[in-house]
Amino acid sequence: MAETANISQVANKIANDIFKVFFWEMHSQQDTNFECVSEDHKTEKEAQKATHPGDVVFHYTDPYLNKRVYLHTDLKSYKKSTLQATKIRESLKSLAMTVECASVSDSWRKKFLPIDHEVYEVRGLLFVANHDGKAADKFSPLLGGISKANIPVAKGQTLHVLGPAEITSLYSIATDIKLAISDKKLSPLYRFFYPDLTLWKRHTTDDQRIGATIEMLLSPYFIIKHPAIIEDGNSILRSGSVVYYSRAGATVDEFVYLLDSLSRYQLVNSRESIRILVFKPERSPELKNNFEKAKHRYCSMWGFEGDRAAEVHAISIDAISQIAPNYSPDEIGWRL
């Protein structure tokens, strides 16, 4: 019972600290097993698996796939001295088998699927926190050294991994969004912007407030659209866009590409503001100067003058604070 309570506390804390801001929903069923339905799934001692674990299941609607995505999540926390490639590999192997079963299991559907006949997809999410704050640089090399051939991911199945660096970034962004709303620099009615892509068309309306997909959160940048804030007839904040940018800003070219993307999405205009917020901790000291150069180069490339150039030059850039979460196992409990 203690472990169940601890996992529940962790899941709720993660959901409230991070994923609630990104409009992810969390299934109320937590830290529960479901039946294994594959004879090929074995324990480490080669015995037939009876069940698969599930710490928490997050879910959101993917506007491009037009289906609900369920992230069957395994919560882990390590300190630097206990973080090892073998543990990560075993966690991924277990999660791969779990997702394979979850995709076809009646037991999983009965526990976690709230709507019959819903179009959905089950994926795995390995959420690896570092509770001594010393392993952020250690995790990625360990993960990169694990051969994909050793992970039994079934055809058509997907596993996602959030390590300490990604968790810190998402926590920092979520905190920045909360503070911006509190300071009236962002409307609480913000939404995530999904443009039509070359190969993918969204199946939702422009103003629909749906969750940020995990692909969006891990992409080079993502965009939040927000309405104006009007109080007592006075404009406190213009409507516009906030762009969370994950690159270092070390080159002029990368910003020229970003400006071109924003223009292509028809976001650059005189009626709305655009703020770019960089969340990469190892950002370039020339970031702001490179961005100013990019604006001049972009306007020159397209022959923008007057009001059109002013719209581009009105785009601002800044960096957000990096805030590391402290999910301590001594305080709230984890699977180690």
Answer with the residue of higher pLDDT: 333 or 89: 89
d(CA 261, CA 336): 42
pLDDT tens profile 36-79: 888 778 777 677 788 888 888 999 999 999 999 999 999 888 88
What pLDDT, on a 0 to 100 scale, did the predictor assign at position 200? Answer: 52
Q: Is the pLDDT of residue 11 over 80?
A: no
pLDDT of residue 329 exceeding 80:
no
Q: What is the mean pLDDT of residues 175-190?
A: 96
User: What is the rounded average pLDDT of the residues 191-198?
Assistant: 82
* pLDDT above 70 for 336: no
Higher pLDDT, residue 243 or 116: 243
pLDDT of residue 172 exceeding 90 = yes
Model pLDDT, residue 179:
96
Residue 315's pLDDT band (cuts 50, 70, 90): very high
Percentage of residues in the chain with pLDDT exceeding 90? 57
Whole-prediction pTM: 0.90
Report the mean per-residue pLDDT for the chain.
87
- Residue 214: band (very low, low, confident or very high) from pLDDT cuts 50, 70, 90: very high
* pLDDT at residue 35 tops 60: yes
- pLDDT interval class at 333 (50, 70, 90): very low
Instruction: Check residues 116 and 240 and name the one with the higher pLDDT.
Output: 240
Using the predicted structure, report yes or no on whether residue 263 has a pLDDT greater than 90.
yes
Is a pLDDT exceeding 70 seen at residue 4?
no
* Domain boundaries along the sequence of the chain: 2-168, 172-319
* Percent of the chain residues topping a pLDDT of 70: 90
Q: Report pLDDT for 51.
A: 84
pLDDT digits (tens, 9 = 90+) for 100-151: 998 888 888 888 888 778 889 999 999 988 877 777 788 889 998 998 888 9
Average pLDDT over residues 185-206: 77
